[in-house]
Every structure is written in C-alpha cells, then in structure tokens.
C-alpha cells in the first residue's frame, strides 16, 4: 500500500530489529548513560546496527541521526532520524511498551515516519500530505472536546532525579484540569496513542527528537496538533512538546505554557 515511499524499503530491517530486541529480552545487558536512570541495553545497540546498516546500503549518501551513535553524513539534506529502542526503561523491566521509530527528514521537514509497537505488533505510519495509518488503516483521532475529561500522557526527563521540583507546577495543573494522567513511556507510543484515540493529549519537557519527531508527524497527519515551546511544529531543537487531538489544543497548550516553573522557563526560553 505504501510501497512508493522510501521508508517502505526499510520495513524488513525494522521487523528484523524488533525480532532481535524480543530475542534478547531475557539476556540483554543493561548499562547507564547520562545518569543511573538513563539506560542503554545490548538490544538498543543491536537494533541500531541493523537499521543503520540497511540505510547505508540503500541510501549511502543520506545522513543518519540515531540515539546511540555519532551522526553520519551530517551535511546531507536528507536525514534518517532513528530511535532503535524507545522505552528502554520499560524494556529493562519487562514492561511491554516499547517501540522503534524511523523518520525521514528532508530540508529539516519530517516527511515519512514509522513507529513500530514491537510487542503488540502494530505499525503506525505517517506521510506528509498523505495521512496517517495504523496497520494500513486510516487513524481515527479522539473527538473529545472537554479538557476536564481528557486523558493526558506525559513523561519526565532523566534529570528528574536532580531537578524533580521544576516539573511539578505543570504536572499539578494538568492533574487538576484533566480527566487523568498516564505515564507509560515510550514517548513515541504515547504520541501515537493520541493519534489512535486512546490518549487525548501529551506533553513532555526535554524529550529528544528521535523519541518524538516521527510520532509527531503521524499525529499531525492524523488530524492532531503538535507544537513546541515556540508554538510551532517541533524541530530537532525543540525542548518541549505539547500534543493533542486538536479539539482541546488551545486550552491544553495554555495550561502547559502558563504553568511552567521559573527554573524551567530559564532553560526553555
Ligand atoms: C524515553 C521515553 C520516555 C521518556 C524519556 C525517554 P528511552 O526513551 O520512552 O517516555 O519519558 O524521557 O526519552 O530513553 O527509554 O528510549
């Protein structure tokens, strides 16, 4: 169905990476990156190796930005942004909420994205100007219009251990003004679940582009709204993501932007 898009060429590698991740589940070795709560496993690295090898074989001149590696062909105007395993903390704790994201960015614009939910075996796809799909069927976003009934997903960056207080005012505001908060991770699946009529909104500070940009394209194409701290569609430099089903977007965005702690504001703006 989507064979005309470049990203389709990578689907076999995507499923191969997912199988490797599942196979390594019981024996994956875990180590820490920026802090004890920021993890990488041998499965992240194996998945990344499979995806990078395939991209380099099919599109040797394209750039690659991947979570666990140095950038490749930095100056190319076509770049693949990869998260080989989103939800590493879930994975390391046997929580089956794990995804792989591949995104193609051309001249800084996200144009084709796939997020694979590896344990439920659902594939989310988004194509700029062509729509968004789950397992080949058009995604149907939630129609909820009341913020007080909205289910909001969020997550916290790894510096939460040192700077937990700065995330509280926004969190408390959403707690008071929504139908409920969920913190599942992976961030990519959180955003795809807004597109898939499960959550109604999502926000997170300092989430990385490989975690979120692909899913943002999918949500945008499904009819949702995704903005960053500058109130524009997210870019590789975004520091805050505010995403929703679009009907509640104005109210949700104001709640988030008007309730950011002073400490956090100085880091964002
Ligand atoms: C994580 C996301 C999680 C988010 C973290 C982090 P990782 O990705 O899945 O939802 O809150 O900040 O980015 O590191 O597990 O691949």
Q: What are 198-250's pLDDT values in tens digits?
A: 999 999 999 999 999 999 999 999 999 999 999 999 999 999 999 999 999 99
**Residue 189: which of 155, 158, 230 has the closest Cα?**
155
**Residue 240 CA to ligand 1 centre (angstroms):** 14
Low pLDDT (below 50) residues in the chain: none
Whole-number Å distance between alpha carbons of 269 and 165: 18
- SS3 category, 52: helix
Residue identifier of the C-alpha nearest atom 16 of ligand 1: 86
* Token pair recorded at residue 167: 């995330």
* Token pair recorded at residue 142: 């939630």
CATH architecture label of 6-139: 2-Layer Sandwich (3.30)
Q: Report pLDDT for 135.
A: 98
**Residue 185 CA to ligand 1 centre (angstroms):** 6
Spatial contact of 253 and 206, defined as CB atoms under 8 Å apart: no
Residue identifier of the C-alpha nearest atom 12 of ligand 1: 157
Q: Report pLDDT for 151.
A: 98
Q: Report pLDDT for 1.
A: 59
- What is the CATH number assigned to the segment(s) 147-268? 3.40.190.80
Ligand 1 atom closest to 91 (CA) = 15
**159: burial class by Cβ within 10 Å (0-12, 13-18, 19+)?**
middle
CA distance readout (Å), 251 to 136, 151, 156, 176, 258: 32, 14, 22, 13, 11
Query: Which residues make up the CATH 3.40.190.80 domain(s) of the chain?
Result: 147-268
Q: Report pLDDT for 30.
A: 86
Q: Which residues line ligand 1 (CB under 6 A)?
A: 86-89, 155-157, 185-187, 204, 207-208, 211
Query: Which residues make up the CATH 3.30.540.10 domain(s) of the chain?
Result: 6-139
Ligand 1 atom closest to 88 (CA) = 15
Global confidence as pTM: 0.97
CA distance readout (Å), 260 to 6, 121, 172, 205, 224: 40, 36, 10, 10, 23
């Amino acid at each position: 169905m989507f064979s005309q898009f470049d990203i389709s060429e990578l689907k076999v590698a995507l499923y191969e990476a997912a199988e490797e991740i599942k196979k390594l589940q019981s024996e994956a070795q875990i180590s820490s990156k920026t802090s004890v709560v920021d993890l990488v496993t041998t499965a992240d690295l194996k998945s990344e190796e499979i995806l990078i090898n395939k991209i380099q074989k099919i599109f040797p001149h394209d750039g690659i930005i991947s979570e666990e590696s140095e950038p490749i062909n930095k100056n190319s105007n076509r770049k693949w942004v990869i998260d080989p395993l989103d939800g590493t903390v879930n994975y390391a704790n046997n929580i089956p909420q794990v995804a792989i994201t591949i995104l193609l960015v051309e001249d800084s614009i996200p144009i084709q994205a796939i997020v694979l939910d590896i344990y439920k075996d659902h594939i989310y796809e988004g194509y700029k100007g062509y729509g968004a799909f789950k397992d080949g069927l058009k995604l149907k976003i939630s129609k909820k219009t009341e913020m007080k009934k909205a289910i909001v997903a969020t997550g916290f960056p790894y510096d939460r251990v040192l700077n937990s207080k700065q995330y509280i005012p926004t969190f408390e505001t959403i707690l008071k003004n929504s139908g409920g908060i969920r913190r599942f991770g992976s961030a990519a699946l959180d955003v795809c679940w807004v597109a898939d009529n499960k959550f109604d909104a999502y926000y997170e500070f300092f989430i990385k582009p490989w975690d979120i940009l692909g899913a943002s394209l999918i949500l945008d194409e499904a009819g949702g709204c995704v903005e960053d701290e500058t109130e524009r569609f997210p870019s590789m430099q975004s520091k805050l993501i505010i995403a929703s089903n679009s009907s509640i977007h104005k109210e949700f965005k104001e709640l988030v932007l008007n309730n950011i702690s002073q400490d956090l504001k100085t880091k964002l703006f």
